[in-house]
Structure 1
Amino acid sequence: MTAPAASRLPEVPETNQHYDQDPAVFEQFLDPRMKYTCALYESEADDLATAQETKLRWIADTLGLRPGARLLDIGCGWGSLSLYAAEERGCRVTAVSPAPHQRGYIMDRAARQGVADRIEVVTERVERLSVPERAHDAVALVGSSAHMKDIGQVMRLCWSALRRGGRLYLSDSCYRNTARHTEFAERDGSVFVRDSVFGGGEMRPLSVLVAAAEDAGFSIEAVRDLTDEYARTIDAWMRNVEDRADRLDAIEPGLSAKLLRYFEIANAGWGFTTKHYALVCRKAR
């Protein structure tokens, strides 16, 4: 892969402090696969690890991942979907993250799991990402589009990357509607999450995501409301943070309180200010 010179976008940081921390931070409160977004609970008895495994299986089924399929995982986080697709579905994966810590972590796990030959990890911002046209069977944006400033550019990139008939899976937190976005986007809690956690980007209403997908050429196949699932996921993270506060604060003084503030702000808004949706699109032509 090639990318334009970094000087073209000097105002965009390479990554942000929250996501490029030592993986030991996230190991304290995430599931064993280190999936840092919404889980999918099938029963009241499901724990966090079970629900995250269910979510990965559902995404893979939704995208139709099968042996030999090529997946582009943009904003791959700690590699949960990329590693799952390579190990469990036999896919060839290009994972994209701007965080060097995440790249190192994914490649280490890929080597331990015997799938290093199936995964390429690109350390790059999506604004500078260049991918071969029509070379992928599926594209995933799992909880990552809110970290990206130009959603139109992102959707066009995804459309270009997919072969005809390929699918895009996008899930993210959204403002409930345009009025809520206007009212709450610049409030203290929203600014804290956007700038201190997301490192910029823009959380949008679902209507904006749908319009961007359609403008890029996609057909919308399905929308699923996962708001309640994410509230339960964050509850599980908060319990883990509280249980391991001493370990987190030993890594960085005050880190547990910062994480709890983020999670409390997120869970306070569900249904009133924010929603969490999964959007499935197809490149029909």
Structure 2
Amino acid sequence: MYPDQSPRPALQDLRNRIRQLERGEQRVMRVLPFGLAAVDDRLPSGGLALGAVHEVAEGGDLGVIHAAAATLFVAGILSRMTGPVLWCLRASDLFAPALSQVGLNPNRVIYAEAPDEKTLPLLIEEGLRHRGLAAVVGELAKLPMVASRRMQIAAEHSGVTAIILRRWRSPAAAAAEVGQPTAAVTRWRVSARPSSPLPASGIGRRRWRVELVRCRGGGTGEWDMEGCDEEGRLGLLANLADGSSSRQGTLVEEPPRQAGLRIGA
């Protein structure tokens, strides 16, 4: 490099970050706590990092029940944020009443339907550049490392949180993608469990097995929980180690999806 030339912007930005780390200066991380110490203690700064990319997938055997649990888990997180949400998917099948039951007002959701799977990552990345959004949800079967890095950079610059809801159409597709590296800060798996037992006939509060399978700078864990309430908050079950209580309920998950229903503008 000649004396009259200045470093390229990317190189200069890297040097500035190194200097900040050497001086002990660190970016303050904005987080959204779950309000459960057992979970928040596994997450850096005590909550879900905002302005970052997170992955949520259905656990157990692929099926409508577990897919519904994963979707409602995401909706519960969004309900505790402030501002509009951009939800990017292939089919307009979100079920508004179920989202409302976990605190996500459908009027906050902007529906964005992509013509194909290849367009979805571009749509998500573009949404992450708009600072007026609280979050962007993207329903993806595949999440290449390059695409996830671009999303993470966009999320860091805008402060908008990205939640990638992994939706696989077959066990073979899921097996091919599970464990593949991405730039997501956290990875979650959510499975439906038998609902809370009631003293009379009927269906009690939904229960989930929530697994934190990866967390950058934090820990991992799995918990049996009561699903999100009308304010999007989870409840931790303390006495289900042997699974005896869970078998007294009914494995029914309210549908978060219905074909042909459009949400937002």
TM (norm. structure 1) is 0.35
Of structures 1 and 2, the larger Rg is shown by: 2
- The structure that is helix-richer by fraction is 1
Larger RCO (CA within 8 A; separation ≥ 6): 2
TM (norm. structure 2) is 0.37
